[in-house]
């Protein structure tokens, strides 16, 4: 069943037409990935879903409910949270305070405590650093914190924006192991990545975005072997 | 001193002995008793709760008291020579407080050690906090003329029948402390706006002025004289107006904060700074000009204006009798209009608060000081609690990263607006107290430099941290009230000793004296402090993180 549906979404930065009619759907429990080069509109898509940018046209539906018209802080309450590009942790807050900020829109104390334990289960490193300030942690730890913070909202759909950006390969592997673990736990994820091979490796389905338009979509396995994707994003010459 | 057991003295005991000794050394006289009591108090508070600890506290208290007394003796004998100043007191009477100090200090140490019941792990922290509170409470009695302070409770002569004070010595320190506290409350409020929420407000004085004028209008005879308010309304009649008006001040400031913030807060930082700067200028100008207020029904007024010959002033209302008869006057319909703020002449006197039959008086500083201290404590507690609440978290997260905060579900406009309103509220609160304290307000008291001083306090102390902001407020006010004055005296003295230009050319001498008047460089020096702080330690003297509680 489709949990998140984007239908013909157009987003502008001033006069710049950034998204030119994006149509995406994400089913419950699956990982869908958006791949594409710099400036293709991947981050714009996630920000539009989150409500940080307003689409000029088109509809965004969460479980059949229109969310493109409601403000960003309300969208979190409906069940969409994201680990933003560049992580954007709160540098002078501790790890615990950062995680609590993730649950800002929730009021169920027990649920929050349980989710925090769940996050610590996924990222034991965060538990070790619980009272450390986020700005003093390494990039990998901050990425874990950003993902943990997004999970604290107990989202119906988790948006991950470039979780591998700027990380050492061993940490990238660790982050993607955790994404697989989240997949096993039936978390619905919309994953934006530049690293197409990795992203298609964990995802069920994928969309290829080019200058604000979807140019290709399909099962992740098919996309991995498709000549266009190979040529453009996997650095292999197609024949 | 990590392991306290192995050292001779705990570090709090060392603080008590050294700190109070130094204070006794520079104040002497009856202050020695207070020093000894405070030293004994701290020693008793932080004493370990074991067998023999009371005896130990007594011994350490005795040591501290004796050292304090010796320091007091040095002051009395070598520094000020009290008998000369006061003319009447023979030596032995001047020094008898020293013996009292020894006895009382020891007793207090032993007593407090015996009856205090603070859990061991919290003893050091809470002990120091209670000690600071005691210091603040006893501060007004720490003067060069303690009898004046005691006299305000009518017991000065009982304590000290012989040592009088010369007239020029008044409680100037206490007055300075009250002014400092008023600024400290403002700084705590601005800390919410600038420190927590990261909004630059350059017109913070506006809310201070609104608070001061609110109490000026409500708690004086001004509106009664204008016929707006009845003189025998119950609040004025029973002298309880202050206690109600001070809340109205906060509410009015909050209301204006809302009116200013709602349209401007969606603006980016720099524009907000300009708008608030303008607002800070508008309020004093409005106060200056709201002397003759007369409001007509607008449409026929507009018609009248159209019909008036070009170049004719609207003030000559009589010339257009037809329109006056046909224009509905809404407000201030008397011949002089309604005098709202009394213009540059200001509003005076503003009645002092009154509690349980006692009315505060101008010049009786101690009750004012205690009231100011209470207001500051309540404000600090409230702000400290709100910092740890949901809205406090939202402020800090927004300052850290606006986009991420929004993505986490923080409603940016509402959160900014709340910061603005609550910040304005504290300024209004401080303004209300200020108006009552000085009993006279005029537009000139609310100039731009107050906004700058308060902002400098926040930035110097460490924005986002209550303790830091309080430290910043006290440092800057001490520079303002004490250090600059001393520098001025020093420079003048140097001129008179080493420069002879003034002798044969009085005009040049006067010019140089004025040029070297450090008090007129106040804003320049504050600006320098801000620039140096931004360069050297942008997070302030006591940054927010060090004071943050561990999770």
Q: Which domains does chain A have, with CATH numbers?
A: 1-79+155-239 (3.40.50.300), 88-154 (no CATH)
Rg (CA), chain B: 28
Strand blocks (E) in chain A? 2-13, 16-27, 31-36, 57-62, 65-66, 80-83, 157-161, 188-193, 205-210, 213-219
Find chain A residues with C-beta within 8 A of B544's C-beta.
92
> Which DSSP string do the residues of A149-170 spell out, in sequence order?
HHHTT--SEEEEE-TTTT--HH
For the cut 80, the answer to whether the pLDDT of residue B264 exceeds it is: yes
**Overall size of chain B counted in residues:** 551
Minimal Cα distance from B390: which residue of A? Answer: A104
Each residue of B196-218: b (16+ CB within 10 Å) or e? Answer: bbbbebbbbbbbbbbbbbbbbbb
Span of B5-9, B251-255, B371-375 with lowest mean pLDDT: B5-9
For the cut 70, the answer to whether the pLDDT of residue B78 exceeds it is: no
d(CA B455, CA B203): 10
Find chain A residues with C-beta within 8 A of B548's C-beta.
94
The answer to the question of residue B499 being in a domain is yes
Beta-carbon separation of A101 and B408 below 8 A = yes
Find chain B residues with C-beta within 8 A of A77's C-beta.
409
Beta-carbon separation of A97 and B393 below 8 A = yes
Indicate the SS3 state at residue B426.
helix
Q: In what order do the strands lie in the sheet with A57-62?
A: A16-27, A2-13, A57-62, A65-66
Any CB–CB contact under 8 A between A97 and chain B? yes
Minimal Cα distance from A82: which residue of B? Answer: B407
DSSP H helices, B81-122, are 82-86, 91-115
Beta-carbon separation of B396 and A92 below 8 A = yes
Indicate the SS3 state at residue A7.
strand
d(CA B176, CA B50): 43
Task: Give the range with max mean pLDDT: B94-108, B310-324, B376-390.
Answer: B376-390
DSSP H helices, A152-226, are 169-184, 196-202, 220-225
For the segment B473-493, the average pLDDT, to the nearest whole number, is 78
For the segment B112-123, the average pLDDT, to the nearest whole number, is 74
The answer to the question of residue B370 being in a domain is no
Q: Are strands A188-193 and A157-161 parallel, antiparallel or unpaired?
A: parallel
Which of B404, B411, B551 is nearest residue A88 as measured by Cβ atoms? B404
> pLDDT value at position B93?
47
Minimal Cα distance from B411: which residue of A? Answer: A73
Interface of B with A in 386-405 (CB under 8 A): 390, 393-394, 396-397, 400-401, 403-405
DSSP label at B292? S
Angle between helices B412-438 and B365-387 (to 10 degrees): 170
Find chain B residues with C-beta within 8 A of A133's C-beta.
545
Any CB–CB contact under 8 A between B551 and chain A? yes
> pLDDT value at position B293?
78
Find chain B residues with C-beta within 8 A of A76's C-beta.
407-409
Find chain A residues with C-beta within 8 A of B387's C-beta.
none
d(CA B209, CA B250): 11
pLDDT bin (cut points 50, 70, 90) of residue A146 is very high
Find chain A residues with C-beta within 8 A of B400's C-beta.
90-93
Span of B7-11, B256-260, B359-363, B484-488 with lowest mean pLDDT: B7-11
For the cut 50, the answer to whether the pLDDT of residue B85 exceeds it is: no
Q: How many CB atoms lie within 10 A of CB B128?
A: 15
pLDDT tens digits, one per residue of A186-217: 999 999 988 888 899 999 999 999 999 999 99
For the cut 60, the answer to whether the pLDDT of residue B435 exceeds it is: yes
Q: Is B497 exposed, middle or buried (0-12, 13-18, 19+ CB in 10 A)?
A: exposed
The backbone torsions φ and ψ at residue B364, rounded to the nearest 5 degrees and listed phi first, read -95, 95
- Residue that terminates a domain, selected from B323, B338, B353: B338
- Residue that terminates a domain, selected from B115, B139, B163: B139
> pLDDT value at position B308?
62
From residue A170, alpha-carbon distances to A137, A140, A162, B250 in Å are 17, 10, 16, 57
Any CB–CB contact under 8 A between A86 and chain B? no
Contact yes or no for B294/B338 (Cβ under 8 A):
yes
**Best CA proximity match to B64, nearest among B120, B107, B97:** B107
pLDDT bin (cut points 50, 70, 90) of residue B110 is confident
d(CA B520, CA B534): 23
d(CA A101, CA A104): 5
> pLDDT value at position B143?
58
DSSP label at A55? -
pLDDT tens digits, one per residue of B120-176: 677 777 777 888 888 888 777 765 554 545 555 555 444 444 444 443 345 667 888
d(CA B400, CA B385): 20
End-to-end CA distance of chain A: 37
Contact yes or no for A206/A42 (Cβ under 8 A):
no
pLDDT tens digits, one per residue of B340-363: 888 888 888 888 888 877 788 777
Any CB–CB contact under 8 A between B406 and chain A? yes
**Overall size of chain A counted in residues:** 239
Span of B52-61, B280-289, B293-302 with lowest mean pLDDT: B293-302
Find chain B residues with C-beta within 8 A of A73's C-beta.
406, 409-412
The answer to the question of residue B265 being in a domain is no
pLDDT bin (cut points 50, 70, 90) of residue B104 is confident
d(CA A180, CA B208): 57
User: Can you name the residues that pair with B288 across neighbouring β-strands?
Assistant: none
The answer to the question of residue B533 being in a domain is yes
Percent of chain B with pLDDT over 90: 20
d(CA A110, CA B335): 69
- Residue by residue, what is the 3-state secondary structure of B431-498? HHHHHHHHCCECHHHHCHHHHHHHHHHHHHHCCCCHHHHHHHHHHHHHHHHHHHHHHHHHHHHHHHHH
Minimal Cα distance from A86: which residue of B? Answer: B404
pLDDT bin (cut points 50, 70, 90) of residue B499 is low
Contact yes or no for B453/B476 (Cβ under 8 A):
yes
Closest Cα in chain A, distance from residue B547 (Å): 12
CB under 8 Å to B106, separation ≥6 — which residues?
A: B40, B58, B61, B62, B65
Which of B403, B405, B551 is nearest residue A130 as measured by Cβ atoms? B551
**Best CA proximity match to A158, nearest among A56, A84, A63:** A84
> pLDDT value at position B462?
81
Closest Cα in chain A, distance from residue B391 (Å): 10
Average pLDDT of every residue of chain B: 77
Find chain A residues with C-beta within 8 A of B550's C-beta.
94, 131
In a 13 Å sphere around the CA of B226, the CA atoms on its Cβ side amount to 22
Contact yes or no for A206/A198 (Cβ under 8 A):
no
Q: How many CB atoms lie within 10 A of CB B338?
A: 18
Closest Cα in chain A, distance from residue B123 (Å): 24
From residue B115, alpha-carbon distances to A165, B125, B167, B228 in Å are 61, 18, 42, 57
Interface of A with B in 125-144 (CB under 8 A): 130-131, 133
Domain count, chain B: 3
Among B397, B401, B409, most A C-beta atoms within 10 A, so best to mutate, is B409
Beta-carbon separation of A71 and B404 below 8 A = no
Contact yes or no for B224/B230 (Cβ under 8 A):
yes
**Best CA proximity match to B20, nearest among B64, B75, B70, B74:** B64
The domain of B471 spans: 464-551
pLDDT tens digits, one per residue of B56-73: 788 888 888 888 888 877
Closest Cα in chain B, distance from residue A12 (Å): 18
d(CA A83, CA A72): 14
d(CA A198, CA A177): 11
pLDDT tens digits, one per residue of A109-137: 899 999 999 999 999 999 999 999 998 99
Provide the number of CB pairs (under 8 Å) joining chain A to chain B: 74
Any CB–CB contact under 8 A between A88 and chain B? yes
pLDDT bin (cut points 50, 70, 90) of residue B319 is very low
Minimal Cα distance from A147: which residue of B? Answer: B408
Closest Cα in chain B, distance from residue A136 (Å): 12
pLDDT bin (cut points 50, 70, 90) of residue A67 is very high
Any CB–CB contact under 8 A between A83 and chain B? no
Among B197, B403, B404, most A C-beta atoms within 10 A, so best to mutate, is B404
Indicate the SS3 state at residue B113.
helix
The answer to the question of residue B519 being in a domain is yes
Q: Are strands B329-331 and B354-355 parallel, antiparallel or unpaired?
A: unpaired
Beta-carbon separation of A52 and B406 below 8 A = yes
Any CB–CB contact under 8 A between A89 and chain B? yes
Minimal Cα distance from B415: which residue of A? Answer: A73
pLDDT bin (cut points 50, 70, 90) of residue B187 is very high
> pLDDT value at position B3?
44
- Residue that terminates a domain, selected from B116, B139, B162: B139
CB under 8 Å to B264, separation ≥6 — which residues?
A: B271, B272, B275, B276
User: Can you name the residues that pair with B188 across neighbouring β-strands?
Assistant: none
In a 13 Å sphere around the CA of B278, the CA atoms on its Cβ side amount to 8
- Residue by residue, what is the 3-state secondary structure of B330-398? EECCCCCCECCCCHHHCECCECCCEECCEECCCCCHHHHHHHHHHHHHHHHHHHHHHHCCHHHHHHHHH
The larger pLDDT score, comparing residue B517 to residue B346, is at B346
pLDDT tens digits, one per residue of A79-119: 999 999 888 999 888 999 999 999 998 888 899 999 999 99
Span of A150-164, B137-151, B402-416 with lowest mean pLDDT: B137-151
Beta-carbon separation of B550 and A92 below 8 A = no
Beta-carbon separation of A100 and B544 below 8 A = no
Beta-carbon separation of B551 and A96 below 8 A = yes
pLDDT tens digits, one per residue of B1-58: 344 444 566 777 777 888 888 887 776 677 788 888 888 888 888 776 565 677 778 8
The answer to the question of residue B31 being in a domain is yes
Find chain B residues with C-beta within 8 A of A147's C-beta.
none
pLDDT bin (cut points 50, 70, 90) of residue B503 is low
Say whether the peptide bond before residue B349 is cis (omega within 30 degrees of 0). yes
């Amino acid at each position: 069943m489709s949990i998140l549906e984007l239908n013909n979404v157009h987003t502008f930065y001033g006069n710049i037409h950034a998204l030119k009619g994006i149509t995406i759907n994400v089913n419950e429990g699956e990982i869908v990935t958006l791949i594409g080069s710099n400036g293709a509109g991947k981050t714009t898509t996630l920000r539009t879903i989150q409500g940080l940018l307003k689409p000029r046209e088109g509809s965004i539906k969460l479980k059949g409910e229109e969310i493109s018209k409601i403000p960003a802080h309300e969208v979190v309450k409906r069940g969409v949270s994201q680990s933003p590009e560049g992580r954007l942790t709160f540098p002078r807050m501790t790890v615990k305070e950062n995680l609590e900020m993730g649950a800002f829109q929730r009021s169920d104390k027990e649920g929050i405590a349980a989710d925090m334990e769940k996050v610590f289960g996924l990222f034991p490193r965060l538990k070790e650093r619980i009272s450390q300030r986020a700005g003093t942690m390494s990039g990998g730890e901050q990425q874990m914190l950003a993902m943990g913070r997004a999970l604290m909202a107990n989202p119906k759909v988790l948006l991950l924006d470039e979780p591998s950006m700027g990380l050492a390969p061993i940490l990238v592997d660790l982050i993607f192991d955790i994404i697989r673990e989240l997949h096993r736990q039936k978390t619905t994820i919309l994953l934006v990545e530049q690293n197409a091979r990795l992203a298609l490796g964990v995802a069920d389905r994928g969309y290829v975005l080019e200058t604000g338009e979807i140019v290709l979509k399909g099962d992740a396995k098919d996309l991995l072997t498709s000549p266009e994707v190979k040529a453009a994003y996997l650095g292999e010459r197609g024949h | 001193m990590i392991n306290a057991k192995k050292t001779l003295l705990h570090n709090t005991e060392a603080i008590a002995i050294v700190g109070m000794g130094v204070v006794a050394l520079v104040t002497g006289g009856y202050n020695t008793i207070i020093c000894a009591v405070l030293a004994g108090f701290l020693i008793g508070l932080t004493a370990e709760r074991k067998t023999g600890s009371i005896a130990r506290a007594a011994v350490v208290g005795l040591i501290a008291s004796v050292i304090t007394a010796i320091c007091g003796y040095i002051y009395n004998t070598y520094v000020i020579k009290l008998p000369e100043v006061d003319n009447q007191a023979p030596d032995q009477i001047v020094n008898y407080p020293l013996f009292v100090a020894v006895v009382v200090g020891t007793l207090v140490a032993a007593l407090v050690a015996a009856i205090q019941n603070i859990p061991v792990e919290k003893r050091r922290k809470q002990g120091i906090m209670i000690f600071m509170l005691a210091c603040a409470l006893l501060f007004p009695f720490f003067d060069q003329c303690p009898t004046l302070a005691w006299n305000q409770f009518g017991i000065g002569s009982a304590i000290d029948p012989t040592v009088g004070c010369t007239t020029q010595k008044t409680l100037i320190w206490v007055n300075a402390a009250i002014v400092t506290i008023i600024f400290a409350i403002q700084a705590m409020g601005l800390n919410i706006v600038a420190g927590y929420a990261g909004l630059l407000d350059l017109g913070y004085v506006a809310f201070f002025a609104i608070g001061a004028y609110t109490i000026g209008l409500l708690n004086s005879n001004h509106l009664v004289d204008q016929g707006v308010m009845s003189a025998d309304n119950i609040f004025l009649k029973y002298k309880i107006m202050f206690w109600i008006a001070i809340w109205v001040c906060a509410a009015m400031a909050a209301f204006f904060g809302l009116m200013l913030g709602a349209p401007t807060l969606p603006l980016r930082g720099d524009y907000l700074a300009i708008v608030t700067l303008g607002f800070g200028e508008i309020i004093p100008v409005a106060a200056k000009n709201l002397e003759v207020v007369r409001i007509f029904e607008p449409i026929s007024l507009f018609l009248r204006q159209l019909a008036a010959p070009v170049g004719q002033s609207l003030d000559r209302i009589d010339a257009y009798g037809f329109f006056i008869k046909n224009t509905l006057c809404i407000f201030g319909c008397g011949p002089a209009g309604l005098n709202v703020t009394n213009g540059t002449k200001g509003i005076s006197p503003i009645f002092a608060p009154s509690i349980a039959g006692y009315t505060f008086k101008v010049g009786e500083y101690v009750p004012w000081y205690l009231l100011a201290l209470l207001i500051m404590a309540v404000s600090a507690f409230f702000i400290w609690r709100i910092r740890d609440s949901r809205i406090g978290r939202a402020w800090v997260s927004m300052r850290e990263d606006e986009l991420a905060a929004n993505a986490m579900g923080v409603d940016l406009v509402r959160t900014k607006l709340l910061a603005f309103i609550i910040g304005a509220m504290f300024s209004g609160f401080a303004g209300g107290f200020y108006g009552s304290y000085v009993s006279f307000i005029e537009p000139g008291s609310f100039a731009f430099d107050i906004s700058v001083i308060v902002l400098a306090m926040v930035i110097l102390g460490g924005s986002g941290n209550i303790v830091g902001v309080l430290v910043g407020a006290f440092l800057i006010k001490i520079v303002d009230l004490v250090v600059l004055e001393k520098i001025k005296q020093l420079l003048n003295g140097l001129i008179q000793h080493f420069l002879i230009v003034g002798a044969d050319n009085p005009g040049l001498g006067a010019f140089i004296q004025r040029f070297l008047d450090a008090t007129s460089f106040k804003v320049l020096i504050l600006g320098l402090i801000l620039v140096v702080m931004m360069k050297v330690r942008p997070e302030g003297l006591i940054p927010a993180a060090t004071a943050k509680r561990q999770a």
